[in-house]
């Protein structure tokens, strides 16, 4: 079974600060996705990274896929209260078809 | 927009009851999934299905079964609910790898 370890599990910061969330594995993934989940809702896809070393930007969010396709990071610049939520990484295994392996999640709280 | 709906947002059941959780998607997706979500454990896959009448066990299938009689509908069944099945249950559908989630059912078993 492939595992994805996400850190930190909890993060509470002030508005305007920067932060990074990490997602690590000993397994290689064909692609890695990041989702955000708000209370009372299901996770919603933010981005998919496919190529080793790939960097994608979504406004103040920067996503990176490791060169070896075993890890990923999410960096948020100048966090805002609207960024508050649970961030989940999910990896597509090389032989798992459409099945995803999810990390444990990072609960981010941005205080005004 | 893809829509995945789940039959109940909140459900309270007694130990030993049979529980049905229904999930419907409107985008003709082949793949459907059931997860449970618990704090600190992320999403754990219970069962999934790649086609009608087809089902595959996920990582934690014990105590659960599923039914997929129609492409758009995927049901999760707790044959005899137990307190350790109190959790948030999320259904998802997908085409390729991207998954679309329903809003979840928070199930409490007392």
Residue whose entry in the numeric block shows the structure tokens 């999910």: A90
Containing A43, the helix (H) or strand (E) segment is: none
Q: Which pLDDT value is given to residue B95?
A: 82
Please answer whether residues B48 and B59 qualify as being in contact, where contact means their C-beta atoms are separated by less than 8 angstroms.
no
Token pair of A57, please? 């930007």
Name the region of A46 (left: φ>0; alpha: ψ -120 to 50; beta: rest). alpha
Q: Judge whether residue B56 has pLDDT over 90.
A: yes
Contacts of A39 in chain B (CB under 8 A): none
The number of beta carbons lying within 10 Å of the beta carbon of residue B43 is: 28
Q: Exposure string (b/e) for A71-91, b if CB count within 10 Å is 16 or more?
A: bbbbbbeebeeebbbbbbbbb
- Enumerate residues 39 to 98 of chain B having a beta carbon within 8 A of any beta carbon in chain A: 40-45, 48, 50, 58-59, 90, 92, 94, 96-98
pLDDT band at A99 (very low <50, low <70, confident <90, very high): confident
**C-alpha distance from A98 to closest chain B C-alpha (Å):** 5
Q: Which pLDDT value is given to residue A42?
A: 94
- Rounded mean pLDDT of chain A? 94
Q: Which pLDDT value is given to residue A106?
A: 96
Question: If you average pLDDT over residues B14-37, what whole number do you get?
Answer: 96
Q: Which pLDDT value is given to residue B40?
A: 84
Q: Judge whether residue B22 has pLDDT over 80.
A: yes
DSSP lists the bridge partners of residue B34 as B47, B91
B42 and A103 within 8 Å at the Cβ level: the answer is yes
Q: Which pLDDT value is given to residue A25?
A: 93
A42 and B31 within 8 Å at the Cβ level: the answer is no
Q: Judge whether residue B71 has pLDDT over 90.
A: yes
pLDDT band at A97 (very low <50, low <70, confident <90, very high): confident
Report d(CA B40, CA A103) in Å as an integer: 9
Q: Which pLDDT value is given to residue A67?
A: 95
What residues in chain A have their Cβ under 8 A from chain B's Cβ atoms?
Answer: 1, 4, 6, 9, 31, 33, 40-45, 48, 88, 90, 92, 97-100, 102-105
Residue (of A57, A47, A5, A50) closest to A26 by Cα position: A5
| β-strands B10-13, B105-109 pairing | parallel
Residue (of A107, A101, A109) closest to A30 by Cα position: A101
CA B38 to chain CA centroid, nearest Å? 14
């Amino acid at each position: 079974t492939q595992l994805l370890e996400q850190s930190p599990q909890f993060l509470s910061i002030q508005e305007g600060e920067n932060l990074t969330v990490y997602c690590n594995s000993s397994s290689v993934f064909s692609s890695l996705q990041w989702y955000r989940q708000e209370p009372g809702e299901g996770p919603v896809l933010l981005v998919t990274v496919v190529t080793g070393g790939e960097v994608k930007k979504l406004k103040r969010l920067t996503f990176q896929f490791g060169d070896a396709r075993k890890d990923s990071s999410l960096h948020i610049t100048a966090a805002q209260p609207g960024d508050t939520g649970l961030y989940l990484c999910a990896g597509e295994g090389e032989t798992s078809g459409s099945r995803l392996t999810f990390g444990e999640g990072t609960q981010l709280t941005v205080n005004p | 927009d893809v829509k995945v709906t789940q039959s109940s947002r909140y459900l309270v059941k007694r130990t030993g009851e049979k529980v049905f959780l229904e999930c419907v998607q409107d985008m003709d997706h082949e793949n459907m999934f059931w997860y449970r979500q618990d704090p600190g454990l992320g999403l754990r896959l219970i069962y999934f299905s790649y086609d009608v009448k087809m089902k595959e066990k996920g990582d934690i299938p014990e105590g659960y079964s599923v039914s997929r009689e129609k492409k758009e509908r995927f049901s999760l069944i707790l044959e005899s609910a137990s307190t350790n099945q109190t959790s948030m249950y999320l259904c998802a559908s997908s085409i390729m790898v991207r998954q679309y989630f329903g809003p979840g059912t928070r199930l409490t078993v007392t």
